[in-house]
Amino acid sequence: MKHTVTEVSLKNGAKGLLIHVPDASVMTFDLNFRAGEYLVDPKKWEVAHLMEHVLLGANEMIPKARDFQAELEKNGAYSNASTGVYDIIYEAECADFEWDRVLGLLLISITKPLFLEEEFRAEFGNVQEEMVARANNHFRRLSLEMRRALGMIVRTDTERIELMDNVTVEDVREHYKATHHTQNLRFVIAGNLNRKRRATIESIFENIELPQKGKRFALPKELPKRLKKPVYVHNDTVENMYFYIDTFMPRRMSDPETDALNLVNTMLTETLYSKILGTARERGLVYGMSSGLSQTRDSSNWWFGAQVSDKNAPALFKIVVDELSKVMVGGIAESEIEAAKQYALGRFQRSAQTVGGTANGYTGRYFFDGIIEDYYRIPERIKAIDKEQIVKIAQQLFNEKIWGFGVLGDCGEQFAEDLRQQLAPLWTAKD
């Protein structure tokens, strides 16, 4: 969607992006506090998550959670919140005609929560149920086990359930006081933000009733280590094995490097005619496969994952090794690069057909490191990618030799090690 972006830096230390989408019929609000699990006592890991659940409940205006939600959503508005290792994000979307009412209610919940004991106990049970449900997600379970082995800041869902009993409502209140202040607030608001409305929003956030103290907390230092054996999670209830392959470099990639690797990622797994997934499906080896890039403050990661039968796994891994090896020696045709660019350009255009989709194009990077994506330059960046860039960043990434392999299933540790050895030549490392 056509839009313009303005960053506002307020006197109270809060910062945000105001995204003007002319004639938009909805508005979206995303409010971020660096208040995730890395900031809590590890023995009370679930403090941040429980706080997020209770905060969007009883407050000084409406002292009952159900009544508050009913009031916020009465005209079809939506609100939610999420907690991660780094951040807590509160979000809402509403019709344009009631944007000020919904934003006011969202801010009341954030600035005037009551943290009632009875609501804490109720949400305690809800969070337990959420964690049990998450623990049944085999990909999530394996990912968390691998992240822990790699040395990242993480707890498995089973561990989190066990640690919940250490958390009290007073812990929740203290975490709120420690993290919810104006210097730690970042926001992205998108919709029809004419000059008058923009000025009103700036005034609202300038006068938000939060303490003007503290700082925007720094992201934690996380440097993954190379795993010398597979992470094997035994589960004899699943027929197929689940696996992840992770490879890291101990620095953040530049935008051109990320663009290049994203493009080759598209070529390898993102379509049914891609080099790895397409070939594997053509041979009847696997139904689906995913891959992607992620970054921490100090590292960059490329991962691959799928579920596959034990009998098909060696053949699938041969395709993975063959295709990645080709990338690192420049065995990619220019026609393949151009086809991947066209796909990436089309996907980019589809990604911002709504106000929410447009806002999402900014929130991740802005909340992570304060960078404002130049959204309109993305097509130009995609077109600028060439084979040399792809080969260079792929070689650099694998030459770091920081990698790990994990399996969840009933295949046995030796079979998992055999698969790991099949992958090992990609890093040309000696065990």
Going residue by residue through the chain (431 aa), what tens digit of pLDDT does each one get?
Answer: 799 999 999 999 999 999 999 999 999 999 999 999 999 999 999 999 999 999 988 999 999 999 999 999 999 999 999 999 999 999 999 999 999 999 999 999 999 999 999 999 999 999 999 999 998 999 999 999 999 999 999 999 999 999 999 999 999 999 999 999 999 999 999 999 999 999 999 999 999 999 998 899 999 999 999 999 999 999 999 999 999 999 999 999 999 999 999 999 999 999 888 999 999 999 999 999 999 999 999 999 999 999 999 999 999 999 999 999 999 999 999 999 999 999 999 998 888 789 999 999 999 999 999 999 998 899 999 999 999 999 999 999 999 999 999 999 999 999 999 999 999 999 974 44
**Residue 207 has which token pair?**
């006068």
Residue whose structure tokens are 């969007």? 56
The full set of domain ranges for the chain reads 4-206, 231-427
Distance CA 227, CA 233 (A): 15
Q: Which residues of 349-378 are buried (b: 16+ CB within 10 A; e: fewer)?
A: eeebebbbebbbbbbeebbbeeeebebeeb
Q: How far apart are CA 321 and CA 316, in angstroms?
A: 9
Q: What pLDDT is stored for residue 431 in this prediction?
A: 41
Q: 246: helix, coil or strand?
A: strand
Residue range 231-427 forms a domain whose CATH class is alpha beta
Let me know if the fold of 4-206 is the same as that of 231-427: yes
pLDDT score of 214: 84
In one-letter notation, the amino acid at residue 135 is A
CA 272 to chain centre: 24
The answer for residues whose C-beta is within 8 angstroms of residue 6's C-beta and 6 or more apart is 17, 18, 20, 198
Under a CB-based contact definition with an 8 Å cutoff, are residues 407 and 240 in contact?
A: no
What pLDDT is attached to residue 429? 47
Domain 4-206 classification at class level = alpha beta
**What contacts 24+ positions apart, CB below 8 Å, involve 418-421?**
418/314, 419/230, 419/243, 419/313, 419/314, 419/317, 420/229, 420/230
